[in-house]
Structure 1
Amino acid sequence: MPKPNESPRFSLAEDDAVAWLRRLGDASVDLVITDPPYESLEKHRAVGTTTRLKHSKASSNDWFRIFPNARFGELFEELYRVLRNDRHFYLFCDHETAFIAKPVGEAAGFRFWKPLIWDKVAIGMGYHYRARYEMILFFEKGKRKLDDLGIPDILQAKRILRGYPTEKPVELSEILVGQSTRPGELVLDPFMGSGSVGAAAVGAGRDFVGCDIAHEAVEVTRRRLLEQGAVHDSGLIVRDADGRADQLSLGVTERAPEGPP
């Protein structure tokens, strides 16, 4: 945990999410927020009811690899293992994936509280009642009180247009980070994409560890967090419940350059 007035730290990995999680220590992180490329997105793309994943200025990829529903079991087991007791886990998903993910999460040991609704403000594509919302499944390991019990279960934030594929607004993750962590704690996203969860975490004085299978996602996130003043720390260490350390990053400590080159 950083000392007061220290810059938040971050560590990134380019890997399969589950393979990466298996290298982390038990009870080593304080919050999980993530948005897997869930299976039903492929169906929406195929029938033309989403533009979220088209070629964009932020990404040279027209599509990315789907994380199949069949792997949710191993994913949730690893997330439960690496999360400390009395902590929270938020999963972004659509209405179809929610029915699949909820029982799998409960089988892994999580308590399911409820779905939060992300109101995107602007209407999206579709045929039957065009989409304006996405779900955020709220799970808990142990028991932890939210920071502000007055926040409603409908969170409003404008969707990102013409950004990185499936990019989430930072202000949305800022709410979750503020509700479920304290300064200096460690936030994890194993499907980090453009790093919006990381941006919310370091902006609030939390450390961040993230992973994505796409090289471009790692580079976009790294630049983004450095520009926010966070430090890429090759010595960022998380410890499991027995105090054993597991190094998460490779490379050197890195800060954003000061001033023009």
Structure 2
Amino acid sequence: MQLINGDCLEKLGGVDTHSIDLVVTDPPYEIGTAGAGIYKQKDKSYIKSLTFMSNGFDKTVLDELVRVMKKINIYIFCSQKQIPLLINYFVKQRKCNWNLLTWHKTNPVPACGNKYLSDTEYIFFAREKGVKIYGSYQTKRTYYLTPSNVKEKKLYNHPTVKPQNILENLITNSSKTGDTVLDPFMGSGSTGVACLSKHRDFIGVEINEEYFKTAKERISNVLRA
């Protein structure tokens, strides 16, 4: 377990080239316009790590992730607006195979107005040719149907905590025991906890000091158990 508090673009520079087996991450979503083509973000503390532009986030982050991976093997939680950017980068430019997984919430916030409910989150998966998918019939579903994990959000004081079973399935399907998994937007440490459960090594980077402390405490508690 290597947990790093800081800007991911700066800290990824210290990660060896071709040293990471899998990336599982949840960067800030592109969720709507806020004038002049600038997009709102879910947490202002991420501004140093991810530049929001009219076409989504700064692809320098993706360039660095590609550099550190042995072969492209990455899951990115994203908004609908970010999917075209990711397809262009990984599929059209990098010629990767790809899937779009979805998490459907049975209890979405009842605010929709002149739009559909925000009841679905997307997980973009890209893998370089030759990268295997492991797992089983039980772990290889492409969609999840669960309530929103309100309990974990309150417990860890983080607005976008992802369900542990989803993260564990992604890790099972795309890595092996002893592999190294990277999350450059670690948040409250859910990916790290999933890696411990599945016996993977983990590197997590988080710019927000409070979230970093939460992640460190969560992972330390699991290690002590």
TM-score higher than 0.5 = yes
CA–CA separation in structure 2 for the residues paired with 1:121 and 1:40? 20
| 2:66 counterpart letter in structure 1 | Y
Whose radius of gyration is greater, 1 or 2?
1
Identity of aligned residues (%): 28
Residue 156 of structure 1: aligned partner: 145
Q: Quote the offset at 1:39 in angstroms.
A: 3.5
Q: Which runs of 4+ in 1 moved over 4 A?
A: none
Q: Which residue identity does 1:73 align to in structure 2?
A: K
Q: Does 1:68 align with 2:73?
A: no
Q: What TM-score, normalized to structure 1?
A: 0.71
- 1:181 is aligned to 2:175: yes
| Structure 1 partner of 2:184 | 190
Given the superposition, is the C-alpha separation of residues 36 and 192 from structure 1 closer, same or farther in structure 2, using an over 3 Å criterion? same
Partner in structure 2 of residue 126 of structure 1: 112
Q: CA 1:41–1:202 in structure 2 vs 1: closer, same or farther (change >3 Å)?
A: farther
Q: Which residue of 1 aligns with 2:37?
A: none
The 2-side partners of 1:41 and 1:228 are apart by 37
TM-score, scaled to structure 2? 0.81
Alpha-carbon separation, structure 2, partners of 1:80 and 1:147: 21
Report the CA distance between 1:91 and its aligned residue.
0.4
Kindly provide the CA deviation profile for residues 30-53 of structure 1, in whole angstroms up to 9, marking residues without a partner as x.
11010111332686xxxxxxxxx6
Following superposition, the deviation at residue 142 of structure 1 comes to 3.4
Aligned-residue Cα RMSD (Å) equals 2.5
The 8 Å contact of residues 102 and 121 in structure 2, kept in 1 or not, is answered as yes
Query: Is it true that 1:136 corresponds to 2:129 in the alignment?
Result: no
Which blocks of at least 5 consecutive residues in structure 1 are unaligned?
Answer: 1-9, 44-52, 54-61, 230-255
Q: Using the alignment, how far apart are the partners of 2:45 and 2:33 within structure 1?
A: 10
* Amino acid aligned to 2:101: L
Equivalent of 2:68 in 74, 82, 90: 82
Change (3 A) 1:41 1:200: farther
Unaligned residue ranges in structure 2 (runs of 5+): 35-41
What is the number of equivalent residue pairs in this alignment? 206
Structure with more of its chain in helix, by fraction: 2
Residue 21 (str. 1) matches residue 12 (str. 2): yes
